[in-house]
Each structure stands twice: as structure tokens, then as C-alpha cells.
DNA sequence: GTTCGCCTCGTCGTA
DNA sequence: CGAGGCGAAC
């Protein structure tokens, strides 16, 4: 048995990794710098546990994304010889885990039949609460939802969260508080849970030690990846479980980039206080990059007033210097990146050689446009998630009203798809639904009264979906069929063909889910990007990714785009040390993705920031710019900026031209 | 009064 | 690309 799992993985580890994989301490924190074989070590650890007799289904790996979970699962399974003995290791996100526990034991946790709201739906509910003005104290629904979420994740009061998020504005927190109370009540009435609520329900029940003991007894060891991005709300889940299971946490303080979501990387510095008896191990040898790439990355961290105590060493040795290319416009920059890829292609390098890292979804679009233009296959990580795209939401709204008839957001969305029905008519229909319900009508009868003035196809379609509710892909198919005519019209000028293809993907994702709510929950909690569903993702392709979505990614060549003044650090973070330092770590994560060739690109004159900051503001940004003190020896600088030829000013007499007669001479028509 | 289309504007990052 | 404002059309 033992030999079955021992594939020699341990033999490939260096002494520090081996020590980390085999540690016998009850709780462990592995501080693993970028490229030091973090995933390799986690995988070796899991295989080691299994080899020593831990049943795979008693091991839980918490990761940051669906992709990271999938990678751990597949690497733990290894080849066919070991796949069966390693079957059953659970790998999922924090939210996925919390939901699995809550849904798995409704007697313990409650909330059966409640729907999970994503961010856009939360904003929709908040808009409904705010009514006509749509603002309170100048804050829009989206801002209030954000500050509330920040309060939950950092376990602050709402008043404190408002002070932290809006330090300069005189905001009457009482008015916000009233809106939030109304929002909470609305969520309760409609049986809605937000992302945060899922963690909060789980955490609240774990405060009962009997519950913590019971949950802890399911697992021999819980592994947590990207520990530096764990926030106080997630710690509230970990803490009560410490006496009841073992924790194996892996992280890197220099890669903490989720402060905006409440993560505080300092909590890994105090890990031993929080988790008594924990052993702390360090991995410092970098296997990913050449020394030149690490020299630049190390330099960036050294400039920080926070001491990171980190210096990555390249086991691979020396290579080419990183390049720093400067352009006039983002379009030139994108053109260069695409042209470099085409050049590499002529040298027969696969598309998968390349990774392009962008700061924002928005800035990724310029790159995307060039890749389309040059016919380069790519997948974009970040950006629109499949279940967040408007047309998919339209279709899912029909499933949602069947699964949870109290789901007002879904009702409104569905009803306003009907021709000649707008907000007012839809709200009236929903009101009559509510009236029927409070009059004691069953959900189905109430539905009939909501649909009274609506076309017959809608009622028939909802009945059909309800009949198919056990076969979720079938239900998706029926919803799509019912709405096909209205959607084809709604999106007639917005790429309807591509959107229709997405609907087929959704149907495929829904196959083998046990219920509509389970299906929606799974993909709301661990979203799939639209572009991951495209055919390109099955073939050789370039990856374009926001830095935040690039955790764990590496490629031979990495292009770090838009590394301009005003972006690193971003203009909006100026003046707040913590935020500026988080921006530094974002750039650090980007730089450390490259194995062989690191290409940093930037624009120097036509930045959009310059336009609204003005030149005085621009000086401040230049001062704060991380790369403005970059020593020459660290990079190869390549200017692409074309100096505009300066012309001599015209002599004074020519400066006020007479207007030119632009009318045509009609000849003999006069 | 209500719907719908068109236009402008602003967009950090994510489960 | 979505949200929101505005005016035309129903």
C-alpha cells in the first residue's frame, strides 16, 4: 500500500521542502517565498499523509481559487497508478468549504433553501432599499455594500469601517446605519445570504465548542494555501477548530494583495501566538526564475519601509536581464507585446510561453484587442465571470424564481425581460405575489397571481422548469428556450451569437448538479471566467491575467504591462502607507511570475492618469512611482517613445490666418 | 405614467 | 461593459 503512493515525489524535494512535507508538529506555518515550490510542498505533504495512513477524505485543502483547487487535486492524484488511492481529497475555497458544512448539516446550521447573492445582486437589493434617490450621504448602493462587507471581513463595527474607508469625508454614519438595517431586513425576508453571511453563519456556530469539535472531527488535517490573504472573519473560523484538528498553513507576507478584502498579512507574523505550539518553517530557494529576475524583485521589496526580511535566491542561476520598455500610448504598448509573441511564434515557441499581467480588468482590454487583431489565441483570467454576464443572469433568473420564490431580485429581472414590462409593472406583479403569499397562498398559487397580466409562455415556461428541477441542465435548457426570443432581441446589437454559446456552456456546467440552488451556489462561490469556456482554452494559448488572478501562475516569459507612474502605486492609494505597500506587493507578485524573460512595459506620456491629475498631481505620482529610482544595472532599458520633431515657431505675421473660402466654383451654373 | 432606446460616463482587485 | 440620465414614443 505504502509504495503505491510513494512516487518518489519526496526524492525531488530539497531539504527544506522535505522537512516541511514531513513535519510532525501538530500545527505548522510554512513561509514560502515566490517560486519556492509552495504547491509542490503542499502536494508532497498531502501524499505523505495518505501514505502514512490518513484517509484522503479526512484531508481538506483550502485554496484561493477554483483553479488552484483543481491543480492540487490533479497533482495529488498524480498518474493512473496512484489516482485511486488518493481519491477523495477535498480541495476548495473558504466559501466553498463553509457552504459545504452549512448545507451538509441543516439541522446544525439552518438556512435551508436560502439563496446566495453575489455582489451585483447585493447592490440590487441595496438599491431597492435606497429607493428613489439611490444614494445616502452621497454613497451609492455599491459603496455601502462594499463598506458593509469590509466591516464583516475585518470584524469592525459599521461606524469604524466607514471611518477607515472614507477618512476624509464627513459622513453621518447613522444614515448609513439605517440603510444597512433596512437592507438586512430585506435579506431576511427574501431569504438571501451574501458571501460574507456564509462565512459568518459558519463562524457563529463554531463559537459553540460542541459544534467546533464535531466539525473538527471530520478532518485529520486542514491545509490552507495563501495564508497571508486570510482575513479576520476567516480566522474566526480557524480559531475554534485549532484544538480539534491539525492546521498546515502556507503563505508569504510579501505576496499579500487582498488587504482591500480585509486580509492582514501581519497575522502570519503572530501565527505562533494565535496557534499555540505551531512550528514555523521557511522555504527560500527559488526554482522558478533566473537570478536577474529575482534581483529586480528583491530590489523592489528592499525599497519598502516595511522590513520583509526576504531575499530570494535563484537555484537556476543567471539569465537575461529584465527589460523595461517605454511607450507613448497603451495601444503602442499592447502592439509591442503582441508583436513579441508573433516573433516568438516564428521561432516555434508555443503560445503558452507567454503570460501578460495587467493591473485592472479595464487595462487588459487594450491587450485583448491586439491579440484579437493579430489572431493570437488567449484566455483572460479576471474580467467577466460566466454567471455574472447579463444574458446568463437573465436565464438564471427563471431558475431562481422556481428555486426560491421569494427571490425578488430574480423576479424583477425575469419580469422586465417581458416586452412592455418595465420596473413599475414588474414591481406591481411582485407585489401581488407578496399579497397572495401573505394571504396564505402556496408558492405556486402566489406565482400564478404574479403572472396574471403576463404572457402565457412565461407561466408555461416556469412550470416546465419546475418539472425539470431535478435535472438542472435540463432546467437551464428550458429556461434558455423560453427566453430565446426576448434575449435575441435584447442583445441583437451586442454579440448575441457569442452569448448564445455561453448559454450552452451554462447548460453543460449544470449537468449532474443535484438541485438548482446547489448549482447556483457552486458557481457563485467559485466562479468560472467566460473566457475559460471558450474553445481557445482547450488548445495552446497565451494567458492574460490581472495580477490578483495570477496567484500561483508562472510562464517562461512574463509581460508586466502598464507599469507606469500613476499605476504602481495607483493614484488612489497615495497618502496611505498600507495601501501603497500593498501596491508594491502587487507589482512584486507580477515580477516573480517570469521564469526566463521578464518584460516590463509602461507608457510615459499619454497615461489617462495624467489627463485628470494635471501636471502638478503628476509630480506627486512620479515621486511615489516605484520604478523611478530603479538602478540602471538591474534592467535593460528600451525606449520606444518617438520624439516628436520640433518645428520652428511660425513668424508672427502668419499666426492669424484669414478664413479660407471653402465653397466650390459652380462654373457656368451661376 | 411607463417603456425603451440612445448616449455618456467611470471603471482597482475577488470569493 | 454596466449604470444611470434624458428624451421620444407608446
Q: What is the DSSP string of A170-185?
A: ---HHHHHHHHHHHHH
Mean pLDDT score of chain A, rounded to an integer? Answer: 88
Q: Give the Cα separation of A462 and A475 in Å (integer).
A: 9
> Å between A353 CA and C7 C1'?
52
**What would the grid cell of residue A655 be?**
499666426
- A381 pLDDT more than 90: no
> Å between A444 CA and B13 C1'?
42
pLDDT at A341: 96
Average pLDDT (A281-302) is 95
pLDDT at A622: 82
Give helix then strand counts, H and E, for chain A: 29, 19
Residue A423 CB lies within 7 Å of the nucleic strand C: no
Of A395, A415, A327, give the one whose Cα is nearest residue A366.
A327
Q: Give the Cα separation of A337 and A638 in Å (integer).
A: 13
Please give residues of chain A from 378 to 417 whose alpha-adjacent beta carbon (CB) lies under 7 Å from any atom of strand C: 384, 389-390
pLDDT at A92: 93
Of A256, A192, A186, give the one whose Cα is nearest residue A226.
A256
Nucleotide nearest to A66 (CA to C1'): B15
- A647 pLDDT more than 80: no
Average pLDDT (A660-666) is 83
> Å between A360 CA and B12 C1'?
6
Q: Give the Cα separation of A444 and A664 in Å (integer).
A: 74
Nucleotide nearest to A546 (CA to C1'): B13
> Å between A454 CA and C3 C1'?
27
**What would the grid cell of residue A340 be?**
513579441
Residue A481 CB lies within 7 Å of the nucleic strand C: no
Average pLDDT (A80-98) is 85
- A640 pLDDT more than 70: yes
pLDDT at A616: 60
Count the Cβ atoms, other than its own, within 10 Å of residue A461.
19
> Å between A422 CA and B5 C1'?
13
Would you state the torsion angle of the CA atoms of residues A370, A373, A376, A380, taken in this order, to the nearest 10 degrees?
50
Count the Cβ atoms, other than its own, within 10 Å of residue A523.
23
Residue A208 region, left (φ>0) first, then alpha (ψ -120 to 50), else beta? beta
Residue A140 CB lies within 7 Å of the nucleic strand C: yes
Summarised one tens digit per residue, pLDDT across range A514-572 is: 899 999 998 888 888 877 777 777 789 999 999 998 988 999 999 999 998 888 888 88
Residues belonging to the binding site of A are 32-39
Q: Which residue is nearest to nucleotide B15 (CA to C1')?
A: A525
Nucleotide nearest to A127 (CA to C1'): C3
Nucleotide nearest to A381 (CA to C1'): B14
Residue A494 CB lies within 7 Å of the nucleic strand C: yes
Which strand B nucleotides have any atom less than 7 A from protein CB atoms?
Answer: 1-6, 11-15
Summarised one tens digit per residue, pLDDT across range A481-525 is: 999 999 988 888 888 888 888 898 899 889 888 899 999 998 888
Of A202, A214, A223, A251, give the one whose Cα is nearest residue A56.
A223
Of A234, A229, A505, give the one whose Cα is nearest residue A385.
A505
> Å between A48 CA and B9 C1'?
56
> Å between A425 CA and C7 C1'?
21
Summarised one tens digit per residue, pLDDT across range A106-136 is: 999 999 989 999 899 999 999 888 877 778 8
Residues belonging to the binding site of A for ATP are 32-39
Which strand C nucleotides have any atom less than 7 A from protein CB atoms?
Answer: 1-5
Of A48, A9, A45, give the one whose Cα is nearest residue A30.
A45
Residue A141 CB lies within 7 Å of the nucleic strand C: yes
Nucleotide nearest to A141 (CA to C1'): C3
> Å between A601 CA and C3 C1'?
32
> Å between A491 CA and C6 C1'?
22
Q: Which residue is nearest to nucleotide C2 (CA to C1')?
A: A390
Q: In this predicted structure, which of A285-289, A313-317, A362-366 has the lowest mean pLDDT?
A: A362-366
pLDDT range class, residue A5, cuts 50, 70, 90 = very low
Q: Which residue is nearest to nucleotide C10 (CA to C1')?
A: A420
Residue A365 CB lies within 7 Å of the nucleic strand C: no
Average pLDDT (A187-192) is 92
- A575 pLDDT more than 90: no
Nucleotide nearest to A572 (CA to C1'): B12
Inter-residue contact A401 to A542 (CB < 8 Å):
no
Residue A135 CB lies within 7 Å of the nucleic strand C: no
How distant is the alpha carbon of residue A467 from its chain centre?
A: 35
Question: A469 or A354: which carries more pLDDT confidence?
Answer: A354
Q: Which residues 6+ apart lie within 8 Å of A41 measured at CB?
A: A13, A17, A20, A21, A30, A32, A250, A283
Question: A5 or A46: which carries more pLDDT confidence?
Answer: A46
Nucleotide nearest to A122 (CA to C1'): B15
Summarised one tens digit per residue, pLDDT across range A307-330 is: 787 889 999 999 999 999 998 888
Question: A104 or A166: which carries more pLDDT confidence?
Answer: A104
pLDDT at A110: 94
Amino acid at each position: 500500500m505504502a509504495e503505491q503512493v510513494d512516487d518518489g515525489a519526496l526524492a525531488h524535494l530539497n531539504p527544506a521542502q522535505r522537512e516541511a512535507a514531513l513535519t510532525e508538529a501538530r500545527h505548522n506555518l510554512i513561509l514560502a517565498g515566490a517560486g519556492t515550490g509552495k504547491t509542490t510542498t503542499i502536494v508532497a505533504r498531502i501524499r505523505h499523509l495518505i501514505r502514512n495512513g490518513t484517509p484522503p477524505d479526512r484531508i481538506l485543502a483550502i485554496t484561493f481559487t477554483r483553479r488552484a483547487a483543481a491543480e492540487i487535486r490533479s497533482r495529488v492524484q498524480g498518474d493512473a497508478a496512484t489516482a485511486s488511492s488518493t481519491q477523495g481529497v477535498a480541495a476548495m475555497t473558504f466559501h466553498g468549504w463553509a457552504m459545504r458544512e452549512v448545507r451538509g448539516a441543516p439541522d446544525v446550521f439552518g438556512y435551508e433553501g436560502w439563496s446566495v447573492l453575489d455582489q451585483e445582486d447585493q447592490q440590487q437589493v441595496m438599491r431597492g432599499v435606497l429607493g428613489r434617490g439611490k444614494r445616502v450621504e452621497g454613497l451609492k448602493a455599491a459603496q455601502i455594500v462594499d463598506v458593509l462587507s469590509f466591516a464583516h471581513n475585518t470584524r469592525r463595527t459599521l461606524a469604524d469601517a466607514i471611518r477607515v474607508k472614507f477618512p476624509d469625508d464627513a459622513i453621518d454614519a447613522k444614515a448609513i446605519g439605517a440603510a444597512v438595517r433596512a437592507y438586512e431586513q430585506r435579506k431576511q425576508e427574501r431569504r438571501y445570504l451574501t458571501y460574507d453571511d456564509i462565512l459568518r453563519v459558519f463562524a457563529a456556530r463554531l463559537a459553540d465548542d460542541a459544534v467546533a469539535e464535531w466539525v473538527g472531527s471530520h478532518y485529520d488535517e486542514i491545509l490552507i494555501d495563501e495564508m497571508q490573504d486570510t482575513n479576520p472573519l476567516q480566522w474566526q473560523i480557524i480559531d475554534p477548530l485549532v484544538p480539534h484538528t491539525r492546521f498546515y498553513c502556507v503563505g508569504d507576507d510579501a505576496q499579500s494583495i487582498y488587504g482591500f478584502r480585509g486580509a492582514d498579512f501581519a497575522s502570519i507574523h503572530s501565527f505562533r501566538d494565535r496557534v499555540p505550539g505551531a512550528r514555523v518553517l521557511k522555504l527560500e530557494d527559488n526554482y522558478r526564475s533566473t537570478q536577474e529576475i529575482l534581483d529586480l524583485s528583491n530590489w523592489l521589496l528592499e525599497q519598502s519601509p516595511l522590513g520583509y526580511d526576504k531575499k530570494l535566491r535563484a537555484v537556476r542561476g543567471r539569465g537575461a536581464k529584465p527589460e523595461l520598455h517605454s511607450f507613448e500610448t497603451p495601444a503602442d504598448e499592447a502592439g509591442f507585446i503582441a508583436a513579441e509573441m508573433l516573433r516568438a511564434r516564428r521561432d516555434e515557441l508555443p503560445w503558452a510561453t507567454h503570460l501578460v499581467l495587467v493591473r485592472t480588468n479595464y487595462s487588459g482590454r487594450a491587450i485583448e484587442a491586439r491579440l484579437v487583431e493579430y489572431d493570437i489565441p488567449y484566455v483572460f483570467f479576471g474580467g467577466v465571470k460566466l454567471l455574472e454576464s447579463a444574458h446568463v443572469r437573465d436565464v438564471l433568473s427563471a431558475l431562481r424564481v422556481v428555486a426560491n420564490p421569494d427571490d425578488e431580485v430574480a423576479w424583477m429581472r425575469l419580469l422586465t425581460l417581458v416586452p412592455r414590462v418595465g420596473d413599475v409593472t414588474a414591481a406591481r406583479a411582485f407585489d401581488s405575489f407578496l399579497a397572495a403569499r401573505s394571504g396564505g397562498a402556496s408558492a405556486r398559487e402566489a406565482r400564478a397571481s404574479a403572472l396574471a397580466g403576463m404572457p402565457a409562455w412565461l407561466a408555461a415556461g416556469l412550470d416546465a422548469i419546475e418539472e425539470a428541477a431535478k435535472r438542472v441542465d435540463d432546467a437551464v435548457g428550458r429556461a434558455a428556450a423560453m427566453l430565446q426570443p426576448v434575449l435575441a432581441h435584447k442583445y441583437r446589437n451586442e454579440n448575441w451569437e457569442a452569448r448564445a454559446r455561453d448559454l450552452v456552456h451554462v447548460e453543460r456546467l449544470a449537468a449532474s448538479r443535484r438541485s438548482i440552488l446547489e448549482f447556483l451556489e457552486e458557481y457563485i462561490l467559485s466562479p468560472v471566467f467566460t473566457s475559460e469556456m471558450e474553445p481557445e482554452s482547450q488548445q495552446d494559448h497565451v494567458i492574460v491575467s490581472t495580477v490578483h488572478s495570477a496567484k500561483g501562475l508562472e510562464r517562461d516569459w512574463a509581460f508586466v504591462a502598464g507599469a507606469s507612474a500613476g499605476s504602481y502605486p495607483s493614484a488612489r492609494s497615495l497618502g496611505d502607507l498600507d495601501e501603497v505597500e500593498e501596491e508594491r506587493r502587487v507589482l512584486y507578485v507580477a515580477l516573480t511570475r517570469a521564469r526566463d524573460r521578464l518584460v516590463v512595459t509602461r507608457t510615459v506620456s499619454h497615461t489617462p492618469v495624467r489627463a485628470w491629475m494635471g501636471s502638478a498631481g503628476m509630480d506627486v505620482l512620479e515621486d511615489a512611482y516605484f520604478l523611478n529610482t530603479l538602478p540602471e544595472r538591474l534592467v535593460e532599458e528600451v525606449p520606444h517613445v518617438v520624439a516628436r520633431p520640433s518645428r520652428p515657431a511660425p513668424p508672427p505675421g502668419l499666426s492669424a490666418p484669414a478664413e479660407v473660402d471653402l465653397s466650390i466654383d459652380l462654373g457656368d451654373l451661376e
